């Protein structure tokens, strides 16, 4: 959901799309509530050989908040830690099989969990607190290790957000990103994408550069 909702107002995906307008399209394939077990299965439907290598400049993989749900309280979304890491590696291997090289892949760890705020959300639904920040941190560490093992870039959101002792302002409900959290993620991700994407040429000339007496010469 942190990915699916990224195109909402002030979302991190929308921010990146604005920075890259007329350079490339930012495609949102976030699926709220999904975990790596499900994502691994559907990835070949989302990115195929025919649409991959030449037209793809970067791919982000952002999972862990659902996988790290506590097994006894949220068995539907929970994925064991070792399987989570294996699933991430499987997705990277698939992307490489369609010629998206590891230097174009960025893993994003789950953000930290603010337990008190998320517990309120759970209690409002008649449920117990179904996630723990320490557990989420184990999944974040596994994500970082997968990136090291596979040679991809990684954005360790869990660690970076907690450098500020009170990280609750980055989260809207203890789990999902707030406006400030979206802005933080956009800035951190752009610092990793800028070198890859800043040199992309603009699509079509600036309007003042179009020859109005002979637009075909400028536009075709």
Q: Which of 90, 168, 169, 176 is catalytic?
A: 176
Output the CA angle 192-198-204, nearest 5 degrees.
145
- The number of angstroms, rounded, from the C-alpha of 189 to the middle of its chain's C-alpha atoms is 9
Q: Out of 149, 173, 191, 218, which one is annotated catalytic?
A: 173
Q: Is 212 a catalytic residue?
A: no
Domains, the chain, ordered by start: 12-218 (3.40.50.1110)
Check: CB of residue 11 under 8 Å from CB of residue 182: yes
The Cα angle at residue 113 between residues 105 and 90, in degrees rounded to 5: 30
Look up 78 and say whether it is catalytic.
no
pLDDT in tens, the chain (220 residues): 888 889 999 999 999 999 999 989 999 999 999 999 999 999 999 998 877 667 889 999 999 999 999 999 999 999 999 999 999 999 999 999 999 999 999 999 999 999 999 999 999 999 999 999 999 999 999 999 999 999 999 999 999 999 977 899 999 999 999 999 999 999 999 999 988 787 788 889 989 999 999 999 999 9
Q: Write down how long the chain is.
A: 220
68 catalytic residue (yes or no): no
Catalytic position from the list 1, 90, 168, 178: 1
Secondary structure E strands in 34-161: 59-62, 105-108, 153-155
């Amino acid at each position: 959901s942190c990915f699916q909702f990224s195109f909402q107002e002030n979302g991190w995906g929308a921010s990146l799309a604005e920075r890259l307008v007329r350079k490339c399209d930012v495609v949102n394939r976030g699926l709220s509530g999904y975990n790596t077990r499900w994502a691994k299965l559907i990835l070949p439907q989302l990115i195929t050989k025919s649409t991959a290598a030449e037209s793809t400049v970067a791919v982000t993989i952002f999972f862990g908040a659902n996988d790290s749900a506590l097994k006894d309280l949220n068995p539907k979304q929970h994925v064991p830690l070792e399987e989570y890491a294996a699933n991430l590696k499987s997705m990277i291997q698939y992307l490489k099989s369609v010629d998206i090289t590891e230097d174009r892949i960025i893993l994003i760890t789950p953000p930290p969990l603010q337990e008190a705020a998320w517990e309120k959300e759970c209690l409002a639904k008649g449920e117990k607190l179904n996630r723990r920040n320490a557990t989420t941190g184990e999944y974040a560490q596994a994500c970082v290790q997968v990136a090291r093992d596979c040679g991809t870039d990684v954005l360790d959101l869990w660690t970076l957000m907690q450098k500020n002792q009170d990280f609750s302002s980055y989260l809207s409900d203890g789990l999902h990103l707030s406006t400030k959290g979206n802005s933080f993620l956009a800035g951190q991700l752009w610092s990793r994408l800028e070198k890859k994407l800043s040199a992309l040429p603009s699509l079509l000339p600036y309007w003042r550069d179009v020859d109005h007496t002979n637009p075909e010469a400028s536009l075709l």
